[in-house]
Amino acid sequence: MKNIVLFGPPGAGKGTQADLLKEKYNLVHISTGDVFRYNIKNKTELGLLAKTFIDAGDLVPDEVTINMLKEEVNKHADANGIIFDGFPRTQSQAEALDVFLTEKGEQINGMIALEVAEDLLVERLLERGKVSGRSDDTDESKIRNRFNEYNTKTAVLKDYYNAQGNYYGINGVGSIDEITIRLAQVFDKI
């Protein structure tokens, strides 16, 4: 199996690129955001809890997120690999994922990060918010709070994966096709 963490700040294009890579390499795409939105839409207990954090622009607590992702991974035991999109977001989540995958005889083969300037991302998210209906994409202060969360809690994962020799940063600015080509060049090496 080839298991990849697709990484980057909110609005960097992780979901779009994950969908393209999923098709190209016949992998499963697990998006924490999609899992959360499904649970919120269906008003599950977990979804209602997650919504309180998301609406405030905060990250959902690790324990809730980890348990949801474990269930999702277990649904795809026969996959060629998994693209994790939006997970892990903290070092404790990365460590829990490593333990979980090791127990299954698997590992993370690499973290590929889309690198994009924050001001450009704020513009992208506000535009996306006009059509997505996502409450966290319509308010610049909530968006800036998400970047603060990302920079203080999530960006440390670069160091975590770099220490394992599994971190690959790429330029996340350009056309969708240009970015996909950059991702595939890294993906084919790991």
Question: Rounded distance, CA 89 to CA 46, Å?
Answer: 18
Residue 37: is its pLDDT beyond 90?
no
146 assigned to active site: yes
Assess contact for 110 and 32: CB atoms under 8 A: no
Q: Which residue is catalytic, options 14, 51, 142, 182? A: 14
Q: Which CATH superfamily is domain 2-187 in?
A: P-loop containing nucleotide triphosphate hydrolases (3.40.50.300)
Q: Determine the average pLDDT of the residues in 67-82.
A: 88
pLDDT: which is higher, 58 or 99: 99
Q: Determine the average pLDDT of the residues in 145-154.
A: 79
pLDDT (tens digit, 9 = 90+) per residue, 113-131? 998 888 888 888 888 888 8
pLDDT band at 176 (very low <50, low <70, confident <90, very high): very high
182 assigned to active site: no
**For residue 170, with 0-12 CB atoms within 10 Å meaning exposed, 13-18 middle and 19 or more buried, which class applies?**
middle
14 assigned to active site: yes
**Beta-bridge mates of residue 4:** 83, 110
Q: Which residue is catalytic, options 134, 144, 153, 189? A: 134
